Amino acid sequence: MNFTKLFVGAFALSAMLVACDSDSASAKDTEIEELSSSSAVEIPSSSSTIRNDGLSSSAIESSSSSVMESSSSSETPQSSSSEAPQSSSSEAPQSSSSEATQSSSSEAPQSSSSEAPQSSSSEATQSSSSADVNSSSSENEQSSSSEMGIIYGTMTDSRDGNTYKTVKIGEQVWMAENLNYADSVKTPSLKENSWCYGNVAANCEKYGRLYTWAAAKIVCPEGWHLPSYDEWNTLFTAVGGKSTAGAKLKSQTGWTAYDGITNEDSFGFSALPAGYRFLSGDFIDEGRYAYFWSSTESSSYYAYGMLLYYYYDRAYLYYNSKYYGHSVRCVKD
């Protein structure tokens, strides 16, 4: 009797414990279910990664994209320059010239610019005679030859007897060759201010001389003068505009070849790639660039000039250090 009661009691206790465990498990399931429903967590898609700072990578990309667009839209692309490739300048591409060149040759002229000078019309009629240059030229302007339908004249510089071809382009008469006058006895200011490229005499016969701006201003024979900024622009207009003036003015020979560029020399100007002399005394860019002085000053340190590149059809006006050595083309008064 007592054994039977004990057995029934133990069985009842086991049933109660099972019921308690079942209730406890049910309560935990309910708690987990409630937790899940009350704090839903959004799982990021593969295109958007959640960062510790709460920003998604897609938001960051969108933000940086806006900054890049803003930055690129506010930047003004360089032109060789200004209209000058890299190094040079504004009207010139950067040297390359960083056009450019910057310039693909070595060191290109610094800071070229398309900025027009404020006052250059008076310089257009400037006489090239000075204390250093007396009555020293004679002219023989009759037609002397015809090449590709171009009528050339000649003029003789009586200071040294050199004879130059001349050509009329529009209303202007230009020397069709670079000046090669070097007599520093008759013209003392030329001393140490003009050079043959590479200090090789044969290059003066080929390209003419390279002059500092101070020398260039006074070196043209009587009746001729260094062209002003405006006179270079007049030449560009006469040959069809600045954008193609390079192709029209460059000699058909002597230039480094470049795909897509054809030098026409349509008007007989026959610009040769004489390069230039740098401040350090180095000679740079033979075969690739032609640099010509103008009489127009930009500042106490810079003066304007005209620049032609082997890889552009365009012509450029730019400014450069007055102490560089550039070519000179004289235009008739």
Confidence class for position 149, pLDDT limits 50, 70, 90: confident
More confident residue, 109 or 163: 163
Q: What is the pLDDT of residues 12-40, one digit of tens each?
A: 444 443 343 444 444 333 333 333 333 33
Strand ranges, E, within the chain: 138-147, 150-156, 163-169, 172-175, 194-195, 210-211, 224-225, 276-277, 283-284, 289-297, 302-309, 315-321, 331-332
Q: What is the pLDDT of residues 93-141, one digit of tens each?
A: 444 333 333 333 333 334 444 445 544 443 433 433 333 433 345 445 4
Please give the full DSSP string across 63-115, using - where no structure is assigned: HHHHHHHHHHHHPPPP-----B-GGG-SSBPP-------S-SSSPPPS----P
Share of the chain above pLDDT 90, in %: 54
Strand partners for 271 = 250
Reduce the DSSP state of residue 276 to 3 states and report it.
strand
Average pLDDT (221-235) is: 98
124 burial (CB, 10 Å; 0-12 / 13-18 / 19+) is middle
Q: Please give the structure tokens belonging to residue 319.
A: 């400014």
Give, in order, the Cα–Cα distances in Å from 63 to each of 70, 71, 321. 11, 12, 44
Share of the chain above pLDDT 70, in %: 56
More confident residue, 191 or 133: 191
Reduce the DSSP state of residue 150 to 3 states and report it.
strand
More confident residue, 40 or 155: 155
- The answer to whether 114 touches 198, Cβ cutoff 8 Å, is no
Sign, Cα dihedral of 109, 203, 270, 323: positive
pLDDT at 128: 37
Mean per-residue pLDDT over the chain, rounded = 71
pLDDT at 284: 96
pLDDT beyond 90 at 276: yes
Average pLDDT (61-79) is: 33
pTM above 0.85, yes or no: no
